């Protein structure tokens, strides 16, 4: 009970008194609790109870009235819910039907999408196939109607790009022919070949037309746009060997005519084009060496200058034509031109047997660059060979004197210079591809070089024979013969030419040692023959002077000299040493013989060696005889030979020193022999006036 009461009290405490319902309830019971007296009576409580029941009835009536409206609304809601349920059922049925239809639709859509992807893939493949194996309409139009030389602002060349594209497609069609798509490949090849043949015919006609303009005097002048197209066309048409060879021959012939005309113009100074009749009017009016140049023939009086100018001109022409051919047939493919790039020229070998360089027997065989270059230079071969052979003729019009020995030397030196010129340019032309086996120019150079070598060797032999036949007279002062002085100058020039030469050693048909031997040995033999009848000392002095002038001439060149020059200088010095030793011995013996010291010393040494007695007791070795001899010797010390006829001061000094040394040595031996007690000269101080050291000082040979 207490717990219930507590709950009610707590509930009452928790009730809010400010709510409208609570205020209305309090207002209703206010009368009951408002009376001070007798308010809480049984009547009052009964009345309160009735009021509460009445109030409940009112509330119930109000509730029923209000609920009727709610009931109607609930009935309407129920009806509406039933209708919604019917609609939902219908929608559910429709959704199920739609789901079934959508599943079928999606399945069909997936199938169609797959088919679409397959079709698109096939379309792409077909388009790729068409792009790879067929020409576009624009490319076909370019091959048939576009001008060959046309170039777009971006550098693109439609004709060559289309032709390169056709060649690329041909390779792909070849792969088709080797597969299961043979028929398709053959059909496409047939159609493509028709377009290509038309394009190659147009290109061939264009190249022939452009080849007519290849007679410019200077092939390295500024290249025109058409010349770029010409080079590109030549590289492209190489896929048709017959057409390419015909174009090569056309280029070769035009350049051959131009080079020949320019060579004649350079030689004579006038244009020979009108006489040749093989170049266009108005072309080739300038010499390759430049305007204002003197004709080469003006220097024909100077063989070396003349041949040098001719070969230098040919060298420049060969280099220019070689560069021209390289740029024309094998330049790098310019970017964006649509060309097929660089390909090496075929067969950089020699022409076949029976085929002149530059001429084509087999019209399916392409010419190499070396063969084309040789063919271009064929036009000048006859003129070149004729002029070289004229220079090699032993004529007297090239500053040769009337004396035969001088003529031999002049012609030897001339042929030697010409030989080096020919050898140098022969090697140079070989490096440019003009070998003797591959070109007429190389063959001509080799033949003229061999002819010059033959004539040079003949002149050397003639020089040797002439030297032995015409012995030079020995001058009174024993100076070198005039011919030896001239020979020395020739030797110096020959050595200078050889050492300044750029020719490889193996390219010359001789060794410098052989040339020096052929020139020096006959001259020395002739000098020995010319010195016959002279005294031994004069012969030695004469030979020393001649050998010295030759040695000085050989050593006047570069430093260090070549091995051949060094060897011959050594031989000449050995010969000079031999002759110098001979003249020193002869002159020293002459002085000792004249003063009597030589015979006196020989007799004294012989007696001393035999131990037959004292020297002073021997006849001719007594003190008086020895005194006379020694006095004559001391007087003769101031009249020694001076070797004035030796041309070189160094040799004179050496001869004097060696002669003085021999005389001083003999005096020293005599002085030692006569001073000995065993010799029996107690008065030796009277005739031995000078000691050996003093004699050496007097003779200027003191070490």
pLDDT digits (tens, 9 = 90+) for 552-582: 888 876 667 778 888 888 888 888 888 888 8
Question: Would 360 be classed as within a structural domain?
Answer: no
| % of residues, the chain, pLDDT over 70 | 82
Contacts of residue 258, Cβ cutoff 8 Å, sequence gap at least 6:
214, 215, 216, 217, 279, 283, 284
pLDDT at 58 over 80: yes
| Whether the predicted pLDDT of 221 surpasses 70 | no
Residues 569, 633: one domain? no
Whether residue 88 is found in the same domain as residue 160: no
- Asked, for residue 703, whether it belongs to a domain, the answer is no
Among 113, 133, 153, the domain-final residue is 133
Contact 523, 484 (CB under 8 A): yes
CATH number at residue 485: 1.20.1280.170
Rounded to the nearest integer, the mean pLDDT of the chain is 77
**Spatial distance between the Cα atoms of 149 and 363, rounded to a whole number of angstroms:** 27
- For every residue of 109-135, DSSP letters joined together read HHHHHHHHHHHHHHHHHHHHHHHHHS-
Give the tokens for residue 280.
Answer: 């266009």
CA proximity to 633, closest of 666, 656, 672: 666
**Would you say residue 622 lies in a domain?**
yes
Distances, alpha carbon 268 to alpha carbons 311, 381, 418, in Å: 15, 16, 22
Helix axes 563-595, 623-636, angle to 10 degrees: 140
Exposure string for 273-295, b = 16+ CB within 10 A, e = fewer: beeeeebeeebbebbbbeeeeee
Q: Mean per-residue pLDDT for 334-343?
A: 42
Domain that holds residue 339: 144-351+365-380
Side-chain-side CA neighbours of residue 238 (13 Å)? 20
Phi-psi region of 82 (alpha: psi -120 to 50; beta: other; left: phi over 0): alpha
Please check whether residues 346 and 197 belong to one and the same domain.
Answer: yes
Task: For residues 398 and 531, state if they share a domain.
Answer: yes
Q: How many residues does the chain have?
A: 703
Q: Provide the H-helix boundaries in 470-596.
A: 482-500, 512-530, 536-554, 563-595
Together in a domain, 520 and 561:
yes
Task: Residue 607: name the closest of 667, 676, 690, 663 by CA.
Answer: 676
Res. 287: pLDDT tops 70 = no
Q: How far apart are CA 320 and CA 315, in angstroms?
A: 8
What tokens were used for 433? Answer: 């591809």
- Residues 320 and 190 grouped into a single domain: yes
Q: What is the mean pLDDT of residues 665-687?
A: 81
The enclosing H or E element of 475 equals none
Mean pLDDT, residues 327-334: 60
| 385 in any annotated domain | no
Please check whether residue 151 lies inside any domain of the structure.
yes
pLDDT band at 81 (very low <50, low <70, confident <90, very high): very high
| Concatenated DSSP letters of 255-281 | HHHHHHHHHHHHHHSS--HHHH--S-T
* Pair 128, 176 in one domain: no
Q: Are residues 227 and 309 in the same domain?
A: yes
Bond prior to 201 in cis (omega within 30° of 0) = no
Q: Which of 133, 157, 188 is the C-terminal boundary of a domain?
A: 133
pLDDT of amino acid 116: 92
The whole-angstrom separation of Cα 618 and Cα 621 is 5
In a domain, 25, yes or no: yes
pLDDT higher than threshold 60 for residue 485? yes
For 328-335, what is the mean pLDDT? 55
> Is residue 263 domain-resident?
yes
Do 179 and 292 fall into the same domain? yes
Residue 6 has pLDDT above 80, yes or no: yes
Contact 613, 679 (CB under 8 A): no
The answer to whether residue 525 sits within a structural domain is: yes
What per-residue confidence (pLDDT) applies to 225?
46
Q: What is the mean pLDDT of residues 43-66?
A: 83
For the chain, how many structural domains are there in total?
Answer: 4
| 681 shares a domain with 619 | yes
The answer on pLDDT for 319 being more than 60 is: yes
Find tokens 């059922």 and name the residue. Answer: 89
Distances (CA, A) of 703 to 359, 440, 544: 81, 71, 26
Cα separation, 157 vs 339, in Å, equals 8
Domain boundary among 583, 606, 626: 583
* Same domain for 184 and 110: no
Residues 57 and 190 in one domain: no
Which of residues 114 and 369 earns the better pLDDT score? Answer: 114
DSSP code of 366? P
């Amino acid at each position: 009970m207490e717990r219930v009461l507590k709950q009610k009290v707590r509930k009452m405490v928790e009730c809010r008194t400010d709510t409208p319902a609570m205020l209305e309830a309090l207002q209703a019971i206010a009368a009951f609790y408002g009376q001070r007296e007798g308010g809480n009576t049984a009547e009052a409580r009964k009345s309160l109870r009735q009021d509460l029941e009445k109030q409940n009835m009112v509330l119930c009536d109000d509730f029923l009235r209000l609920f009727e409206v709610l009931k109607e609304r609930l009935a309407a809601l129920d009806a509406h819910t039933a209708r919604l349920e019917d609609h939902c059922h219908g929608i559910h049925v429709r959704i199920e039907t739609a789901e079934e239809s959508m599943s079928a639709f999606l399945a069909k859509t997936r199938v169609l999408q797959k088919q679409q992807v397959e079709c698109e893939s096939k379309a792409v493949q077909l388009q790729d196939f068409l792009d790879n194996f067929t020409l576009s309409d624009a490319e076909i139009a370019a091959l048939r109607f576009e001008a060959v030389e046309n170039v777009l602002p971006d550098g693109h060349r439609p004709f060559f790009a289309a032709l390169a594209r056709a060649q690329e497609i041909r390779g792909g069609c070849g792969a088709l022919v080797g597969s299961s798509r043979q028929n398709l490949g053959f059909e496409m090849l047939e159609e493509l070949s028709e377009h290509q043949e038309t394009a190659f015919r147009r290109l061939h006609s264009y190249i022939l037309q452009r080849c007519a303009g290849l007679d410019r005097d200077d092939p390295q002048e500024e290249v025109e746009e058409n010349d770029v197209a010409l080079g590109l066309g030549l590289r492209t048409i190489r896929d048709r060997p017959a057409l390419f060879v015909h174009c090569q021959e056309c280029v070769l012939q035009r350049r051959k005519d131009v080079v020949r005309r320019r060579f004649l113009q350079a030689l004579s100074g006038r244009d020979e084009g009108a006489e040749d009749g093989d170049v266009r009017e108005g072309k080739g009016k300038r010499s390759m060496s430049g305007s204002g140049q003197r004709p080469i023939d003006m220097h024909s009086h100077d063989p070396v200058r003349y041949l040098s100018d001719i070969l230098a001109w040919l060298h420049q022409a060969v280099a220019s034509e070689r560069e021209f051919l390289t740029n024309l047939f094998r330049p790098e493919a310019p970017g964006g031109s649509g060309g097929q790039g660089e390909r090496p020229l075929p067969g950089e070998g020699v022409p076949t047997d029976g085929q002149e360089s530059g001429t084509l027997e087999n019209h399916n065989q392409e010419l190499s660059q070396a063969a084309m270059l040789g063919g271009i230079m064929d036009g000048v071969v006859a003129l070149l060979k004729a002029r070289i052979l004229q220079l090699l003729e032993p004529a007297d019009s090239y500053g040769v004197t009337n004396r035969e020995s001088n003529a031999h030397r002049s012609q030897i030196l001339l042929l030697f210079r010409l030989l080096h010129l020919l050898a140098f340019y022969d090697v140079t032309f070989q490096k440019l591809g003009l070998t003797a086996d591959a070109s007429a120019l190389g063959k001509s150079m080799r033949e003229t070089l061999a002819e010059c070598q033959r004539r040079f060797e003949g002149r050397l032999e003639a020089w040797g024979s002439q030297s032995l036949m015409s012995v030079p007279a020995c001058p009174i002062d024993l100076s070198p013969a005039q011919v030896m002085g001239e020979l020395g100058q020739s030797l110096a020039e020959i050595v200078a030419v050889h050492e300044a030469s750029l020719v490889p050693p193996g390219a010359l048909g001789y060794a410098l040692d052989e040339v020096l031997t052929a020139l020096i040995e006959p001259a020395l033999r002739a000098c020995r023959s010319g010195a016959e009848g002279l005294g031994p000392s004069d012969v030695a002095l004469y030979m020393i002077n001649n050998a010295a002038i030759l040695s000085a001439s050989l050593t006047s060149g570069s430093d260090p000299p070549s091995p051949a020059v060094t060897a011959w200088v050594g031989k000449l010095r050995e010969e000079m040493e031999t002759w110098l030793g001979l003249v020193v011995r002869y002159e020293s013996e002459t002085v000792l013989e004249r003063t009597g010291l030589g015979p006196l010393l020989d007799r004294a040494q012989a007696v001393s060696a035999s131990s037959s007695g004292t020297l002073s007791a021997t006849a001719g070795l007594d003190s008086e005889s020895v005194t006379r001899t020694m006095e004559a010797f001391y007087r003769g010390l101031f009249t020694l030979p001076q070797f004035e006829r030796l041309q070189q001061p160094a040799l004179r000094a050496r001869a004097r020193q060696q002669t003085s040394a021999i005389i001083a040595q003999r005096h020293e031996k005599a002085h030692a022999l006569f001073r000995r007690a065993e010799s029996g000269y107690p008065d030796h101080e009277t005739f031995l006036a000078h000691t050996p050291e003093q004699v050496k000082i007097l003779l200027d040979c003191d070490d």
